């Protein structure tokens, strides 16, 4: 009898932990599913690989994204991680000494 009580005392926290992990996982899956169903053309999004783009078309789990004028690619809707508000997100790179953060000048003329 004492062994059963000890087993219950040891097993109860593990069962509670497993339950909490499963609930969290289920909630995250539900949120991602709702996000993917809410995708519509014109939205600014971020993919799981870090690509910022605008949704052009949505059809049967596939979204067409535009990363620049005339640059379109098709993605699985599950790759969309975040939908931004109506404004375009700020994706400016600022790294001291990096080519993108220093002004570009013309190279010196060669005689």
pLDDT in tens, 1-23: 788 888 888 888 999 999 999 99
CB 36: neighbour CB atoms within 10 A? 17
Look up residue 102 and give its two tokens. Answer: 């220093």
pLDDT digits 0-9 by tens, 52-76: 999 999 998 899 999 999 999 999 9
Q: Encoding tokens for residue 96?
A: 């001291």
| pTM of the full structure | 0.57
Tell me how far apart the alpha carbons of residues 56 and 65 are, in angstroms, rounded to a whole number.
6
Residues 43, 86: Cα–Cα separation, whole Å: 7
**Tokens matching residue 21:** 């992990």
């Amino acid at each position: 009898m004492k062994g059963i009580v000890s087993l219950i005392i040891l097993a109860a926290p593990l069962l509670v932990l497993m339950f909490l992990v499963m609930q969290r996982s289920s909630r995250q899956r539900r949120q991602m599913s709702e996000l993917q169903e809410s995708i519509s053309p014109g939205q600014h999004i971020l993919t799981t690989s870090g690509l910022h783009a605008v949704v052009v078309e949505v059809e049967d789990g596939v979204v067409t994204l535009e990363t620049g004028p005339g640059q379109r690619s098709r993605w699985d809707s599950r790759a969309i991680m975040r939908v931004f508000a109506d404004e375009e997100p700020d994706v400016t790179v600022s790294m001291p000494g990096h080519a993108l953060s220093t002004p570009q000048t013309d190279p010196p003329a060669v005689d």
